[in-house]
Structure 1
């Protein structure tokens, strides 16, 4: 069974990779490993060594600490209290929505954000 920290780090790797629009193959090539290893990291099946995490952070243009953000709040109870799914980072639709959102020009993005807040208050 995978350790919860390994699973969390893997989800953060997948999350960042999706946000920047990179495939597992592209990330693997930048890090110098096979894409199957990236798959194993992302599922938490294999632990990521410190040096490999450093390389992945560099390839994804984030600090190493990014992969540990939210670790204290990574429980189903904290997510449920906010009305969010327990595995938001693992939800393909949510990640696609975030990526699409940030592809919108900033002034239109702000208007879309305001609309979403109004609609969520109505629901």
Structure 2
């Protein structure tokens, strides 16, 4: 017997939903936009935006279109790298690039995004190399 219970028939978020949520968060932070501001732009609460970003709730096609407009990107932006991600998960561990979790965590953090944004604006290669050397030096003193 088929159940009509919406909880049983509703699809739960999956890895792609989580990826889309992560991309929403990255783009929102890149735009220096708060969850509240994005929520107001698309007609939902900041809590709902938070659930989208964490991959707890799925983002429907219409809502994704609204988010795309608010964040000034094409809807396809949110799916970029999903194929690469799936392929990398299918590869054996020996073929994968081993990025420490703390590095990934930093890169997607607010500070990481701010640092990457600022660093990407530095056009002179020599200055960029000096910045890298400075940060390495500062990090060595922290240990």
| TM-score for the superposition, normalised by structure 1 | 0.74
**Quick check: which has more Rg, 1 or 2?**
2
Look up the SS of the partner of 1:74 in the other structure: helix
Q: CA–CA distance in 2 between the matches of 1:85 and 1:112?
A: 27
Q: Identify the structure with bigger relative contact order (alpha carbons < 8 Å, sequence gap 6+).
A: 1
Q: CA–CA distance in 1 between the matches of 2:66 and 2:127?
A: 36
> Which residue is 1:97 aligned to?
112
Q: What root-mean-square deviation, in Å, do the aligned CA atoms of Structure 1 and Structure 2 show?
A: 2.8
Unaligned runs of 5+ in 1: none
Please show how residues 99-114 of structure 1 align to structure 2 within 5 Å: 99-104=114-119, 105-107=121-123, 110-111=125-126, 113-114=128-129
Residue 8 of structure 1: how far off its partner (Å)? 0.8
Instruction: Note if 1:67 corresponds to 2:78.
Output: yes
Q: CA–CA distance in 1 between the matches of 2:38 and 2:126?
A: 34
4+ residue runs over 4 A deviation = 75-78
> Which residue is 2:33 aligned to?
22
Unaligned runs of 5+ in 2: 1-11, 137-143
CA deviation digits over 1:70-98, x for unaligned, max 9? 101225646x722324693xx2x313223
Please show how residues 47-62 of structure 1 align to structure 2 within 5 Å: 47-62=58-73
Q: 1:31 to 1:74 in 2, by over 3 A?
A: same
